[in-house]
Amino acid sequence: MIWGITLILLSIIAVPSLLLSKKPNAKELLEKIEPYQGWIGIVFCFWGVWGLITAILNLGWLQVAPIWWITFLAGNLISAILGFMLGSGLINKLFLSKNEIAKAKADEFRAKIAPKQGKLGIFGIIVGIWMIVASFLFTIS
């Protein structure tokens, strides 16, 4: 359930225009979060990568609960990508500043997926809600 809640929160940060159209006073909140957006992105990027590793290490879940495993994999993939998108500036500054080739590839990847950030954020909200529901339906013991 925590994976779904965090994915929803990340997705809301990733689609501020959607949030602003629904709640006009959300602009103040988003302005407060903006200085921390890079750090939030880095944390969620690593959180998503850790979830992907966890999903791969637990391939046995495919036999027990395939829908949950696919949901878990999709949610963490979205979390890693959205986290990368939000934290890309800080990631470049902290981790890739010494390696120009890696920095260029990261910028190229970011430029490719940037136009899809809004749609990915909305999809992240949907998958996050489904992750919460699925955590109750498909418990793995």
- Give 44-86 pLDDT, tens digit per residue: 999 999 999 999 999 988 888 888 899 989 999 999 998 988 8
Report how far residue 132's alpha carbon sits from residue 6's, in angstroms, rounded to the nearest whole number: 10
For residue 90, which amino acid is it?
A: L
Residue 32 pLDDT > 90: no
At 140 the pLDDT is 61
Q: Report CA 42 to chain centroid distance, whole Å.
A: 10
> Residues 6, 54: contact at Cβ < 8 Å?
no
- CA–CA distances in Å: residue 13 to residues 42, 54, 109, 113, 136: 13, 25, 20, 16, 25
Higher pLDDT, 37 or 80: 80
Residue 87 pLDDT > 80: yes
Residues ≥6 apart with Cβ < 8 Å to 51:
3, 72, 75, 76, 79, 80
**5-14, pLDDT tens digit by residue?**
888 888 888 7
Q: Which residues of 62-93 are buried (b: 16+ CB within 10 A; e: fewer)?
A: eeebeebbebbbbbbbbbbbbbbbbbbebbbe
Report how far residue 132's alpha carbon sits from residue 139's, in angstroms, rounded to the nearest whole number: 11
Higher pLDDT, 33 or 112: 112
Residue 141 pLDDT > 60: no
Confidence of residue 22 (pLDDT cuts 50, 70, 90): low
pTM of this structure: 0.77
